């Protein structure tokens, strides 16, 4: 892979595994801890095959005084685009391409123990521009009951957001995700 002018690799269109590998590279930046997962995410303009944003767990501070700095990977992707365009996160569809896809090493959360907005809710708020979410692994049930996670996937699908699991990377994603456990 050659580097693009935005310091992201040039990944061939439709190479979902390569995009997931890049998301996994982001996850490796997340500080390991026994109370969280190390997750990475990549936001892509699927029409232009351009990486719009990346993120990893705890990369950025958030503005939640009850739980500062507990940002998830997907949330970090959205924060970066919002900051770049001077918009609140809920208005990102004004600047995101209509065929934006999200790659995340672990399925988006449907419940946050911190009280922060779950990533499923963030994606649903942007469902007019994010219509496909590629996922590396299901969230292990260390912190959240699996039934809540299934509800999250169902909420996405019921709202018209396609959820696609990328097969074949589960072991390496799980190893990175569980670092610190």
Kindly list the catalytic residues. 74
Residues with Cβ within 8 Å of 128's Cβ and at least 6 positions away in sequence, in order, are 93, 98
Pairing of β 100-106 and β 130-137: parallel
Q: Report the chain's C-alpha Rg in angstroms.
A: 15
- CA-to-CA separations, 98 to 12, 46, 61, 95, 128, in angstroms, rounded: 20, 9, 27, 9, 7
For the residues of 57-68, what is the DSSP string, one character each? Answer: TTSS--S-TTST
- 167: buried, middle or exposed (CB in 10 Å: 19+, 13-18, 0-12)? exposed
């Amino acid at each position: 892979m050659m580097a693009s002018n935005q310091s992201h690799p040039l990944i061939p269109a439709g190479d979902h595994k390569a995009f997931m590998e890049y998301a996994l590279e982001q996850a490796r930046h997340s500080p390991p801890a026994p109370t969280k997962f190390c997750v990475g995410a990549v936001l892509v303009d699927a029409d232009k095959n351009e990486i719009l944003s990346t993120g990893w767990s705890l990369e950025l501070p958030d503005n939640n005084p009850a739980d500062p700095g507990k940002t998830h990977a997907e949330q970090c992707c959205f924060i970066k685009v919002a900051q770049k365009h001077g918009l609140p996160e809920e208005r990102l569809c004004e600047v995101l391409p209509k065929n934006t896809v999200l790659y995340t090493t672990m399925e988006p959360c449907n419940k946050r123990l911190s009280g922060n907005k779950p990533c499923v809710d963030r994606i649903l708020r942007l469902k007019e521009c994010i219509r496909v979410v590629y996922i590396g692994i299901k969230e292990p049930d260390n912190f959240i009951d699996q039934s809540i996670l299934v509800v999250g996937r169902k909420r996405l699908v019921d709202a018209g957001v396609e959820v696609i699991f990328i097969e074949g990377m589960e072991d390496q994603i799980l190893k990175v995700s569980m670092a610190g456990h």
